[in-house]
Structure 1
Amino acid sequence: MRVHSIQGDTVDLVCWRELGSERSVSAVLARNPDLAALGPVLPSGTPIDLPDTPPATAPTIKLVQLWD
């Protein structure tokens, strides 16, 4: 999937908005090696190729209540 950055976007913000997690930042940077040279804030309209499928989510952890 290809998206374009908007004003003030960073790679992790694009990943969060489009994929729902920042976990795919390294995969996005691997697919777009020129992004790192643009700096932390991407210019508006920068094309970004995202992975086809988002990475698997982390397993859920069951919380234990102290007063159960």
Structure 2
Amino acid sequence: MVGILCVLLSLTALRVEGYSSGGSLIQSQCASMDPSSVHGTMQNSPPPYTVTVNQTTYKPGDTISGESSRR
């Protein structure tokens, strides 16, 4: 019974990695704020979608409405 429980628990375990310093990859990306340093080349064309919202600030309990449209 204990063996079956151990097998079931091992099948449901998630793998999580963490770095006490935040990780060198994260630090290098945040220092330059350049996602291409991690994800390749950046998009140079205008974004294909626009998002419009009814307010630009948020307080707990507020509801923000919006819509998106394709350019």
Shorter-chain TM range is under 0.3
Structure number with larger C-alpha Rg: 2
Structure number with greater CO (CA < 8 Å, separation at least 6) is: 1
TM-score (norm 1): 0.27
Q: Which structure shows the bigger proportion of residues in helix conformation? A: 2
TM-score by length of 2: 0.26
